[in-house]
Amino acid sequence: MPYDSGDPYFPCCSVRDLTPLKISYEQAKKRAEPYNKIVGEPPEMRRDSVNLVKQAVAENRRVYVLVNNRAEGNAPLTVEALVDQLRA
């Protein structure tokens, strides 16, 4: 469905995976360095990200997923994992 200028919803959304809950910025940074592998997989973060993307796609919205290295240790690998879950 194309975007209707009278629609109260914005035609796109963004998902931001940053520092996991209950971990300080400094702890997450230290844990993730040197940012070359996955060091933790917060299942809630992945699940919520995938669900938000699926919901946006079902609503015919464009979705931008922004992942920081602090989320799991290596943003490109996190994105690959999210894509794999979306394709499953």
- Measured CA to CA, the distance from residue 82 to residue 65 in angstroms comes to 10
pTM assigned to the model:
0.83
pLDDT for 59 equals 84
pLDDT for 61 equals 86
Q: Which residue ranges make up each domain of the chain?
A: 12-87
Residue 53 CA, chain-centre distance (Å), reads 9
pLDDT for 3 equals 52
pLDDT for 71 equals 95
pLDDT for 7 equals 61
Q: Taking the chain, what is the end-to-end CA distance rounded to the nearest angstrom?
A: 25
**Residue-by-residue pLDDT tens, the chain, 88 positions:** 455 544 656 788 889 999 988 899 999 999 999 999 999 888 899 999 999 999 988 888 889 999 999 999 999 999 999 999 999 8
